[in-house]
Amino acid sequence: MSEDTTTTTADAPEDAEVSTDTPDLGNAGQKAIKAERDARKAAERTAADLAARLKSIEDANLSDLERAQSAAAAAAQELAALRVENVRTKVALAKGVPADLIDFLTGSTEEEVAAKADILIARLNTSGTPKPDPSQGAKGSTSKKSTGDMFEDFFNQNLTS
């Protein structure tokens, strides 16, 4: 009394068909099983397509996030550069550094830039030529005479003698 039935298990391949000689399923049961398998394959394909689509959307969102982070980093760098430039300009105006020499001021804090400005101004104020020594050379009279006084002196010296 052995019944000849073929059953499918989880280990069986997907395309395994239920044998047609199964007396308890009948033709309608076999069609139902085949329809169920086809529906499962279609559902798995749809799930795989949707998973791939979700992955592409996540990648697009991630690249948007990366673009936003990159833009934020660039903006932060620009802000830092503008702050340093602002400090340099502020100190240069306060210390009297000429506009064409502002690029020589370095440092990231106001104190550092101010120290460099002081050094630069000190170097600018020193001249390369020595100052004249008033104790040397010809000495002129300290009082200036008017033209009339000079004429009178000339007249007195040349005519009265």
Query: 32-91, pLDDT tens digit by residue?
Result: 999 999 999 999 999 999 999 998 888 888 787 888 888 899 999 999 999 999 999 999
pLDDT value at residue 12: 46
> Which amino acid is residue 19, in one-letter code?
S
Look at residue 160 in the predicted model and tell me its pLDDT: 63
140 confidence band (pLDDT: 50, 70, 90): low
Domain ranges of the chain: 26-125
- DSSP H or E run through 102: none
Confirm if 90 and 107 have CB atoms less than 8 A apart.
Answer: no
What was the pLDDT predicted at 13? 47
Checking if the pLDDT of 11 tops 50, the result is no
Average pLDDT value for residue range 91-113? 89
